[in-house]
Amino acid sequence: MTKSTRRAEPGWPSGSAVPEHVTSPSQNPGIVDDVFFRHVVTGMRNGVIALNRDGALAIINDEAYRIFGIDRGPEDLGRPAAEVLRGHPEVVRLLSSVFDLHLLPNRAELRLRLSGRVIGYTLALVRDDAGDVVGASMFFKDLTRVEQLEERERLRDRLAAVGEMAAAIAHEVKNPLGGIEVMAGLLRRKLGDAPEAQLVLTDIIKEAKMANAIVQEVLEFVRPIRLQVERTRVGEAVQAAVQLAETKARRGDIRVDAKVPHDLPLIQGDQFQLTQLFTNLLANAYEAMDGRGRVTVTASTVRLIDDIDSKEAVVVELVDDGPGMPQEVADRVFNPFFTTKPQGTGLGLAIVRKIVDAHDGSIDLETVPGRGTRIRVTLPVKVVSELTN
């Protein structure tokens, strides 16, 4: 005697049958039907994909659409998974190999080439009541933010070790440099009637001053940031930075438009450090633009939403119409000691990132060669330590 079945609800594998004993809640409050399970899958905060043995897409939920960055099609279910996911060939290859694997990956990771997102996934086979394999499923989660935080922690650990060594070296070098500068100055005064010697000694003093400035910048970078947190107006930090940036780099004919609303919420931050942050960004723009062009600074309030909570933040954008930069340079500009300038130290933007990290913020850069650069600094109104207290 065969077991009677009824038609499956929409959203489940085409042609599949639902056992008769799976009743609706109205028939038996202790048992839920397939519609309930469909809603569970649809509302999951993890991505879910399932395909039949022939490779046809059987289930895909809203989170999967979001992570893969694809639009929902009215007839996606029943189509070959390779067609629906054609923008992600690495995922298609993974799903195609499921039925040939003896050991399915569990909690593995994969980077999506199209978007750069990192997903953590688990693969499983779908079996019928007789134990036969009728399909496969993939459960996954967007780990991009987690990867970024882990990389930031690894960078902090590396910088802490290098910083201790650099600080010790810088202190040892700073004292001899000061001695060279003083002795060269004394010798220049004694040789007042020797023009050639005067020129040489002037160059020695100039180079010693430059080396001392580099050492001072290294010390500033490796020194731990201890924030003097207070209720701070971002607009005041931006306005102060506009004035200070000219002392660090030649502004020339560059026009600076700072459009920062007065009604921005006060943030918990260090006024001095924030001023240094925007000063370094503006000075870097001045140097790249070679005295011509325009820099626009704007600010707004946003709400950041993550897996745990949502929080208010202030976003400051600096946009210039300078020469921009190649992508391979843009990927490294915040790395310590990376510079494209003949006499640069490569620490200005590294210090910027360090200050942003200390404020539990984030910084993003968008650039196109010949079309300028946009830098976005996001600063939470309240730092993490305050939110957790």
- Verify that 313 and 340 share a domain, yes or no: yes
The CATH number given to whatever domain includes residue 23 is 3.30.450.20
Q: How confident is the model at residue 307 (pLDDT cuts 50, 70, 90)?
A: very low
174 vs 100: which has the higher pLDDT: 100
Q: How confident is the model at residue 343 (pLDDT cuts 50, 70, 90)?
A: low
- Verify that 318 and 287 share a domain, yes or no: yes
- For residue range 237-253, what is the model confidence (pLDDT) as tens digits? 999 999 999 888 888 88
**Least confident stretch, 114-118, 338-342, 361-365:** 338-342
Mean pLDDT of 122-148: 87
How many percent of the chain have pLDDT more than 70?
Answer: 81
Place of tokens 């990956």: 105
- Verify that 207 and 334 share a domain, yes or no: no
Mean pLDDT of 60-79: 89
Is 116 a residue whose pLDDT tops 90? Answer: no
Residue in 7, 5, 23, 4 with CA at minimum distance from that of residue 15:
7
pLDDT at 333: 83
| 40 phi, psi to nearest 5 deg | -60, -50
| 304 phi, psi to nearest 5 deg | -90, 135
- For residue range 248-301, what is the model confidence (pLDDT) as tens digits? 888 888 999 988 898 899 999 999 999 999 999 999 899 888 888 999 999 999
pLDDT at 281: 93
- Verify that 256 and 186 share a domain, yes or no: no
- For residue range 205-249, what is the model confidence (pLDDT) as tens digits? 888 887 877 777 777 766 667 788 899 999 999 999 999 998 888
**Least confident stretch, 10-14, 102-106, 167-171, 194-198:** 10-14
Q: How confident is the model at residue 180 (pLDDT cuts 50, 70, 90)?
A: confident
- C-alpha 90/C-alpha 85 separation (Å) is 9
The CATH number given to whatever domain includes residue 274 is 3.30.565.10
- Verify that 255 and 383 share a domain, yes or no: yes
How high is the mean pLDDT of the chain?
80
Range of the domain at 138: 5-142
- C-alpha 185/C-alpha 191 separation (Å) is 10
Last-in-domain residue among 224, 259, 279: 224
pTM assigned to the model: 0.50
Per-residue DSSP letter, 55: S
- Verify that 128 and 182 share a domain, yes or no: no
- Verify that 138 and 278 share a domain, yes or no: no
- Verify that 65 and 135 share a domain, yes or no: yes
Q: In what order do the strands lie in the sheet with 57-60?
A: 57-60, 47-52, 133-142, 118-127, 108-111
The CATH number given to whatever domain includes residue 219 is 1.10.287
- Verify that 302 and 208 share a domain, yes or no: no
Residue 114 near residue 107, CB atoms below 8 Å = no
- Verify that 134 and 149 share a domain, yes or no: no
Is 386 a residue whose pLDDT tops 60? Answer: no
- Verify that 268 and 344 share a domain, yes or no: yes
Last-in-domain residue among 116, 142, 168: 142
- Verify that 56 and 113 share a domain, yes or no: yes
Number of structural domains in the chain: 3
